[in-house]
Amino acid sequence: MLDQTKPVYQRLRDVIANAILEGTYRDGDMLPSVRSLAAEEGANPLTVAKAYQTFQDEGLVTVKRGVGMFVAAGATDRLRELMREDFLTNIWPPVAQQIRRIGLDARTLLDLTEA
């Protein structure tokens, strides 16, 4: 689920990151052009370019001038690790606190996710 409180470029980054993690784009695959993704997502091309720039800054994509942007080798595993770290540091602590607060246990949670 996308966090609507984030700036648009970060939400677009999340869209791209999720597509990479879900296998829509694999290591070595070409990403949509800035204009194509902007049209698809209803965003400004400059905003899409800013989202792509964050991936470049982290070494998760490579640019071939005149050709396009590609998912870098090893990017999927690195992205998964970055997202795990973010989840465990920023998302999980308040979720775990709420679970304890309302008296849920691990078995109940697992049963709900298996249903």
First to last CA, the chain: 20
Banded model confidence at residue 34, pLDDT cuts 50, 70, 90: very high
Segment 44-56 mean pLDDT: 96
- What are the structural domain ranges in the chain? 8-74, 77-112
State the pTM of this model. 0.80
**Cβ–Cβ under 8 Å, residues 63 and 104:** no
The predicted structure's pLDDT at residue 58: 94
Q: How does the average pLDDT of the chain come out, rounded?
A: 92
* Bridge partner list, 61: 71
List, as one string, the DSSP characters of 8-53: HHHHHHHHHHHHHHTTSS-TTPBPPPHHHHHHHHT--HHHHHHHHH
Q: How confident is the model at residue 4 (pLDDT cuts 50, 70, 90)?
A: confident
pLDDT at 59 over 90: yes
What pLDDT score was predicted for residue 2? Answer: 57
Residue 64 is encoded by which pair of tokens?
């071939």
User: Which residues lie across from 48 on neighbouring strands?
Assistant: none
CATH code for the structural domain at 8-74: 1.10.10.10
